[in-house]
Amino acid sequence: ARETLTIHLETDALVIPNGIDTKFFQDAKTESAWKRDFTIGFIGRFSEPRKGLEILLQALPDIVRGVPNARLLIAGPGEGLEIMQSVSPNLRNRLVFLGRLNEVEKAAFFKSIDLYVAPNTGGESFGIILAEAMASGTAIVASDLPAFEQVLGSGKYGEIFRTGDSSHLAERVIALAQNPERRNTLSQSAKLGAVRFDWNTVGPEIMNVYLHAIGEG
């Protein structure tokens, strides 16, 4: 959007990220019913192909071969039965559909999983769900969309895989599942990186733009 302004309107813009309440996600409680085995999380509308659930499901057979106790928590609006039928019968017991989550449940979701996967295939301008997962201290694997790479500091705050490549996604997930030390490193880095998106940082940046626009300072 900023590049479009620069090219077509001979002006410039300051890019400020969306804001989140990092403390809200940091202080969330785990849900014991969700926190068992090696739990992978996904949030998104099932009906939107760009959210990439199909890519994650394609990776699931390889993931289970590499991580025998892996299971997948799927949250968001959509028809779980149709998704379940698209998966091999021997893998259906690995899927748990939670439906739409409210904000408190979403924060608990991040605290209750071992790994959050964002397999989106396009159309993302930011990725606030990644910022929320970062604030929760959740290890992340995300597709290499420019917006996601920017949020994740080009891999500093989460692992990146090639967009649409289910085999590469499976490799990343298995590697992290087998390396708890790496997951912990990503978790600690992510919590620090999430400060960039906290309202205490973003709010003053927005205020400064308004003050500049009316000629103060």
Q: What's the rounded Cα separation, in Å, for the pair 75 and 107?
A: 12
Which of 101, 85, 84, 87 lies closest to 43, judged by CA? Answer: 101
Over the stretch 63-87, which tens digit does the pLDDT of each residue have? 999 999 999 999 998 878 888 888 9
Q: Are 134 and 128 in contact (CB under 8 A)?
A: no
Burial 83-114 (b: 16+ CB within 10 A, else e): beeebeeebeebbebbeeeeeebbbbbbbbbb
**Is residue 217 pLDDT above 90, yes or no?**
no
The terminus-to-terminus CA distance of the chain in angstroms comes to 26
Q: If 0-12 CB within 10 Å is exposed, 13-18 middle and 19+ buried, where does residue 144 land? A: middle
The confidence band for 145, taking pLDDT boundaries of 50, 70 and 90, is very high
Q: Are 18 and 131 in contact (CB under 8 A)?
A: yes
The whole-model pTM stands at: 0.92
